[in-house]
Amino acid sequence: MSLHAAKRAEDKEVAEDSELPIPEPQIPETTSPLGFVSLREAEAEQNQLASRWFSPKTRETYDWAMTFVLKPVLFVIVVLLSWWWSVNVSKLVWASGKGWISLDKSVLVALVTTSVGNFITVVIIIAKNLFPDAKKR
């Protein structure tokens, strides 16, 4: 007798000895969101949803929106954030040069080099990934 079968037999004996009977578990009937039960009906529901959302016409619309709207907007946001960071680092360097704040020279060099490198790298990576070379496709 397997361990699982022994455990079930033991549970059954405990259930028979206890005062409250343990009812057999019942599995409720599951349905899809539209109330379909059979696999055939569920497949038809899936095909209906797929034909509405991912038809060739709507797919072209989504691809166009991704290519000409979302990707350029993302590119502009990333460039603006990098520009904002560079401007704030420039303000820190300027304030340190005027003597308004005191930063060590190594900190200033690290800020400037990482900001310039970050800006150039982000622009190159984003531009290459958002606008891939047509020849490589």
Name the domain count of the chain.
2
pLDDT at 6: 65
Q: Does one domain contain both 40 and 25? A: yes
Q: What is the pLDDT of residue 53?
A: 64
Per-residue pLDDT band at 98 (split at 50, 70, 90): very high
Radius of gyration (C-alpha) of the chain in whole angstroms: 32
Could you tell me if 121 and 78 lie in one domain? Answer: yes
Q: Say what the pTM is.
A: 0.50
The distance from CA 83 to its chain's CA centroid, rounded to whole angstroms, is 25
Q: Are residues 130 and 94 in the same domain?
A: yes
Confidence (pLDDT) at 137: 55
Q: Which amino acid would we find at residue 125?
A: I
Confidence of residue 64 (pLDDT cuts 50, 70, 90): confident
Residue 17 has pLDDT above 60, yes or no: no
Torsional sign, CA 119, 77, 90, 88: negative
- Residue 70 lies in domain: 57-136
Whole-number Å distance between alpha carbons of 45 and 51? 10
The region that residue 35 occupies, defined by phi over 0 for left and psi between -120 and 50 for alpha, beta otherwise, is: left
